Amino acid sequence: MKHLLSAADLDREEALTLLDTAEELASVTDRAVKKLPTLRGRTVANLFFEDSTRTRLSFEAAAKRLSADVITFTAKGSSVSKGETLKDTALTLEAMGAQVIVLRHHASGAAQRLAESGWIGASVINAGDGTHEHPTQALLDAYTLRQHLRGGSGDLQGLRVVIVGDILHSRVARSNVALLTTLGARVTLVAPPTLVPVGVESWNCDVTFDFDDSLSDADAVMMLRVQSERMNAAYFPSAHEYSRRYGLDSMRAAQLPDHAVVLHPGPMNRGMEITAEVADGPRALIVDQVANGVSVRMAVLYQVLSSEEGAA
Amino acid sequence: MAAARVLEADDVGRVIGRIAHEILEKSRGSSGVILLGIPTRGVPLARRIADRMASIEGHPVPVGSLDVTMYRDDIGLRGPRPLSATDIPAEGIDDAIVVLVDDVLFSGRTIRAALDAVNDIGRPRAVRLAVLVDRGHRELPIRADHVGKNLPTSLAESVQVHLVETDGVDEVLLGSRDAS
């Protein structure tokens, strides 16, 4: 695996290899020495054109646990404000020795462009490109679901996952539909009609506008953030109406089966798509997701960097 | 050329018995001894040696597994290898006598990686090495404390260890590289 650009590129075997690798790497966190020497001497560059807390910190922690060096670039306060392009910024990072570029960009397709344009020889990991994909988020969600509902091994055959909210702007939803269905889960998207993307009928999932209908047989509910920063029009009448119809409160959580779990990729708008009571409740795996994110990203960095020369 | 069987199932059993006795003799009993098998075939070997030691001594001997993949020196040269489980007995390895167990000792690079891995987990009183077959051709200054069979080989030959747990049969085969 030279690059990781899209969750849709992963077949079942590759996805399971990544999850199994992450499962073994997770045990490093419990040791006295929380570090492996595997990527000693390699350099990972975080190239972030868009704001991020979890993803950037998580990639940084993952790279450091594997003993790689980390260079972090954030667009704010850089020469991007002077008009420097993605290409020149990436060339700069590669000239400083980066073998992997972890890219987050506001333009959909930016990671693929960087990987396939021939500008650089480094590997590219997509850490979120516009409203397109966020493959490592889907991997950590699949890992978290597998850990809690499948005992930490095998695939997600037959699991029913409901993804609720701003599907239109959500790269998390897009990546999750691709990966979870590859692993055998059945995905239902729930959103107001204005927040369902055009062409969704070609996705491998069901779509409904009624949240309450899909609660009783869900094994997992994944709540999405309403991405007001990407909204240039009125997609719903008011925040209050949105949270009444599509928010997860304790009334709705009570209708879920006993074993069902609640996920949220963060950052949360508490009170909007999820109430604080549910977010801090026993079903919520939101903190687990963050912890698992580090293990999953260690697995991705290991796969990408260890095949770098071998596959050539 | 067909591979020659250099150890039969009975031989493998006898060799494991002898290694168990040697470990007990050298450490004056099994107290403080922990066996760590190196995946894949070192793990069932370690388990069998521990069982034999337990039946001699009359009390169980802690046994675990130690995956060395992330400590190897050829990462990036051979493509990604799948990881195996590391399972350290709950009492930890601090101040214990750790006996690493592997099937074949060859270049010594796997053992080098294992020593680094042990170092990150704790500080044992001593680390020893038991192998079923020593085929020579060391590339590092490493030797085994307990050897099941010394098997002088040429680099053109391959040594394959088969165990009931992983392959359905106990045997050691010596063949040519391209046939394997």
- Sheet of A69-74, strands arranged across: A69-74, A43-48, A100-105, A123-129
Contact A167, A146 (CB under 8 A): no
Q: Are residues A178 and A262 in the same domain?
A: yes
Q: Are residues A64 and A126 in the same domain?
A: yes
Q: How confident is the model at residue A311 (pLDDT cuts 50, 70, 90)?
A: very low
Average pLDDT of the segment spanning B48-57: 96
Q: What is the mean pLDDT of chain A?
A: 93
Residue A41 lies in a domain: yes
Q: 3-state secondary structure string, A199-235?
A: CHHHCCCEEECCCHHHCCCCCEEEECCCCHHHCCCCC
Residue A2 lies in a domain: no
Q: Are residues A95 and A240 in the same domain?
A: no
pLDDT reported for residue B68:
96
Q: Where are the alpha helices (DSSP H) in chain A?
A: 12-25, 54-65, 86-95, 110-116, 135-149, 171-182, 239-246, 250-254, 276-279, 286-306
Measured between beta carbons, the chain A residues lying within 8 angstroms of B83 are: 20-21, 24-25
Q: How confident is the model at residue A309 (pLDDT cuts 50, 70, 90)?
A: low
Contact B140, B112 (CB under 8 A): yes
pLDDT reported for residue A308:
56
Per residue in B72-106, pLDDT (tens digit) is: 999 888 888 889 999 999 999 999 999 999 999 99
CB contact under 8 A, B79 and A21: no
Minimal Cα distance from A304: which residue of B? B80
Q: Are residues A61 and A204 in the same domain?
A: no
Which among B38, B11, B34 has a CA at the least distance from the CA of B105?
B38
Minimal Cα distance from B72: which residue of A? A38
pLDDT reported for residue B81:
85
HSE at residue A54, side-chain half, CA atoms within 13 A, is 20
Residue B67 distance to chain A (closest CA, Å)? 9
Which among A193, A211, A284, A289 has a CA at the least distance from the CA of A247?
A211
Q: Are residues A166 and A276 in the same domain?
A: yes
Handedness of CA A212, A198, A186, A138 (dihedral sign): negative
Q: How confident is the model at residue B1 (pLDDT cuts 50, 70, 90)?
A: low
A-facing residues of B in 27-86 (CB < 8 A) are 67, 70-71, 75-86
Which among B126, B129, B97 has a CA at the least distance from the CA of B114?
B129
HSE at residue A81, side-chain half, CA atoms within 13 A, is 5
Least confident of A141-145, A205-209, A236-240, A266-270: A236-240
Residue B36 distance to chain A (closest CA, Å)? 17
Nearest Cβ partner of B120 from A31, A39, A305? Answer: A31
CA A4 to chain centre: 12
- What's this model's pTM, rounded to 2 decimal places? 0.93
User: Strand B171-176 vs strand B4-7: parallel, antiparallel, or unpaired?
Assistant: antiparallel
Tokens of A169: 């702007």
Contact A116, A60 (CB under 8 A): no
Q: What is the CATH number of domain B9-154?
A: 3.40.50.2020
Measured between beta carbons, the chain A residues lying within 8 angstroms of B82 are: 17, 20-21
Residue B39, preceding peptide bond in cis (omega within 30° of 0): no
| Backbone φ, ψ for residue B175 (5° rounding) | -135, -175
CATH value at residue A229: 3.40.50.1370
Residue A158 distance to chain B (closest CA, Å)? 26
pLDDT reported for residue B178:
67
pLDDT reported for residue A76:
85
Q: Three-class SS of residue B16?
A: helix
Q: Are residues A162 and A125 in the same domain?
A: no
Residue A153 lies in a domain: yes
CB contact under 8 A, A38 and B71: yes
pLDDT reported for residue B162:
97
Q: What is the mean pLDDT of chain B?
A: 94
Average pLDDT of the segment spanning B152-164: 95
CB contact under 8 A, B82 and A21: yes
| Backbone φ, ψ for residue A11 (5° rounding) | -90, 175
This complex has an ipTM of: 0.87
Tokens of A79: 């020469």
Q: Are residues A266 and A173 in the same domain?
A: yes
Distance (Å, whole) CA A23 – CA B83: 9
Q: Are residues A142 and A284 in the same domain?
A: yes
Average pLDDT of the segment spanning B125-147: 97
Q: How confident is the model at residue A234 (pLDDT cuts 50, 70, 90)?
A: confident
Q: Nearest 5°: CA angle at B71, between A293 and B76?
A: 80
Interface test with A, best of B77, B83, B87, B88 (most A CBs within 10 A): B83
Residue A163 lies in a domain: yes
Residue A311 lies in a domain: no
Average pLDDT of the segment spanning B118-142: 96
CB contact under 8 A, A1 and B80: yes
Residue A194 distance to chain B (closest CA, Å)? 44
Q: Are residues A128 and A170 in the same domain?
A: no
Contact B17, B46 (CB under 8 A): no
CB contact under 8 A, B76 and A308: yes
Residues in chain A, overall count: 312
Residue A184 lies in a domain: yes
pLDDT reported for residue A75:
86
Q: How confident is the model at residue A297 (pLDDT cuts 50, 70, 90)?
A: very high
Measured between beta carbons, the chain B residues lying within 8 angstroms of A33 are: 120-121
Q: How confident is the model at residue A310 (pLDDT cuts 50, 70, 90)?
A: very low
Per residue in A72-126, pLDDT (tens digit) is: 988 888 888 888 899 999 999 999 999 999 999 999 999 999 999 999 999 999 9
Which among B17, B18, B2, B52 has a CA at the least distance from the CA of B160?
B2
pLDDT above 70: percentage of residues in chain A: 98
Tokens of A178: 């691709």
- Cβ contacts of B26 within 8 Å, gap of 6 or more: B128, B145, B146
Q: Which domain holds residue A107?
A: 7-133+291-306
Q: Are residues A282 and A300 in the same domain?
A: no
What is the total count of domains within chain A? 2
- Residue B168 near chain A (CB below 8 Å): no
Q: Are residues A38 and A144 in the same domain?
A: no
Q: Are residues A25 and A97 in the same domain?
A: yes
